[in-house]
Chains A and B, each alone.
Chain A
Amino acid sequence: MNLEKTEVWVTGIGLVSSLGEGLDSHWTQLTSGDVPVPSVDSTSHTPYLVHPIVDFEIGTQIPKRSDQRQMGPWQHLGTYAAGLALDDAGIAHNPELLAATNMIVAAGGGERDLDVDTAIMEKINGLENPGPVLNEALNTELRPTLFLAQLSNLMAGNISIVHGVTDSSRTFMGEESAGVSAIETAVGQIQHGQGEIFLVGGAYIAERADMIMLMEFGRTLWQGEHGSVWSRRDTAGGMIMGSAGAFLILESRSHAEARGAKPYARINRVVSDRCNRQPGAARKVGDGLFKQIRDQIPPGPLPVLTGCCGIQPHLVDELDFLNNLTERGIDPVIRGVTTVLGNTMEAQFPVNVILASLAISRGAFFDPFDASGVEQAFSGDPERILISTWAHWRGESLALIEKPDVPLRGGKSK
C-alpha cells in the first residue's frame, strides 16, 4: 500500500444481534467489567443451541406493510440493519447521496416455509411415483412472495426498494468468507476510486431448522451446555450459531470530510486467502496473510477480535496462530466474539469490523468474554485492532482497523 492510496473510513453502523440493538447496548454489555452473559436459546432446537435475534421494530425502518409482507425474517433483519447504518451515517432520505451509494451484501439464503416443506414431505412420503403429487403440492402450497423472500439477492433488492440505495448492487454468497469479500472488495474499490461510498454488510438468522440442517450435514454444531468458544478447546469442538444483522457505511476520507461526516475508525486493510484445510494448511495461510500486514503493526499489545468458529481443528489452529504472534514481538489480547454472539456466518466479519470500530471510537477495548485465561485484560486506548476469521469450511482472513488520526505506517507496497 502506498501512502497516496485513498483512506477508507467507517462512517455509519447498523447492528442488531442476540445481545441487543445499537452500539450503546453492545458497548455497555461488553464493557461491564464482568464476563458478559450471552442470550442463548437451548430449548427450541435441542440438542443445538442458538443465539436468537432480539425483537426489533420493523416498522421504524420498513414502514410500508406491503414491503414487510414481501420479506421473511432474514430480509427484515438485513433491511432493518442497513437502514440503521444509513441513518447513522446521515445519508438516509438523501436521494442524491443514496443514488451514489454502492452496495455489497453478504448473503446466504432466505427463508423456506418449513410448514409447507413439512406438509409436502408427509404427502409424498412412501409414494412409488412422488413426482406428480410433488408438483401438485408445490403448485398449491407455494406462494409467490415466498420465492422472493428466499432469493439471496433480494435482501439487496429490498434495501434498494425500501431505502433507495441505487448505485451498484452486488450480492456475494458463501458463508463467513462472503462477509470478508464484501468488505475487502468495497475497501479496494474505494482505495482505487471505483466508488466513494458503500453500504456493506449482511445478516444471518440462526434459529432456522433448515440452516441447522445445512450446518449439521458436516457435523459442525456444538451440542450440550453453552460455554465460551475457548471452553471447547479440549473437546471435539462445534459451533453455536448466532443471529445478527450488521451493516456499515464505508467512505473515502475526502468524501466523508466534504459532507462533514465523522469516522468511527479507518480500515487499514483486509487480506484473505483460502486452502483446502488439509492439516496445517490454514495455519500456513494465516502466516502468509500476517506477512502482508505486519509492517502496519508496531510491537506491543494488540487487541484482537476473532470469529473463531469453534470447530476443530480450526479452533486450536487459529488460537495457536494468534498466540504465536508473540514470536513477532506482538502481544495479542484476544476476544472470542463467537462466545458472546455465536457464529453469525455472513454477518460475522461485518460484526467484527463494527465491534472493532466501536472500540476504536470509544477509546477502550472490551472486557474479557471468558474467564479461562485465554483472554487478558486490556487497559488503554487501542490505536488498532486486528480481526481474524477462519471460516467454518473455507477461507481465512485478517483485517486491521485503526484510529482515523493515527499516521499510516511505512510505505511498503502490498
Chain B
Amino acid sequence: MKELWKIFYKGLFDENPIFILALSLCPALAVTTNVINALTMGLTVLFVISTNNVVVSLTRHLVNPKVRVPVYITSIATIVTVVQLVLQAYFPVLYKALGIYLALVVVFAIILARAEVFASKNKLIPSFFDGFGMGVGFTIAMLVIAVIRELLGNGTIMGYSVFGAAYNPALIMVLPPGAFILIGYMIGAIRLYNQRKEEKRLKGSES
C-alpha cells in the first residue's frame, strides 16, 4: 500500500509533468485562459494517461519491443478519440473551446513517456497508480496556472467575479504573451525554492 502511495505521490510534486519535467507545455499554455477549460483538459489527460498505462501494462508481454512505439501511439489515439466523441456528444461547448488541443493529447510527450518508462515494465496496479498520479499532477498544475491567469486577466474564477466590478483586468494575462511570461516566472520561482532548500540542507549538515 505504501509503495502504491509513493508511486502516486511522485507525480504530484517531485516529478510533476509540467513544473518539474517541463513536458506537455503546449496545452498548459493554450487552454489555461479559464479554469473550466483547464479542468476539462486536466481530467481528459488524467483519463487518457491512466487508461493507456493499464492497456500498455496488460499487453506488455504480447507486444514485440521493436514495434512498441507505434502500438502505444495507436492505443493513445484510440482512447483520445473515445474522449473526443464523448465530449462532442455531451459537452459540445467545452469540445468547441478546447478545439484542436483535444486531438493533440495524442502527441503529449508525458503520456508516451509514462508508457515507455513505467507501464511497459510494471504490473497492472502500479501502472495505473503511476498514470493516475501523473494525471493528477498535471491537473493540479493546469489549475494553478488557470486560476492565476483567469483571476488577473479577467477578475473571475470559474466565471464568478472575485474583485468586483471596479477591478480593471490585466488583459495580457489571458493573451498568449501573459502565458509565456507567467510560466517563465513560475519556473524561476520553483528553482529559487529548490535552491533555498538545498542551501538550508547544506548548512544543516555543516553545523
User: Is chain B found bound to chain A in the same assembly?
Assistant: no
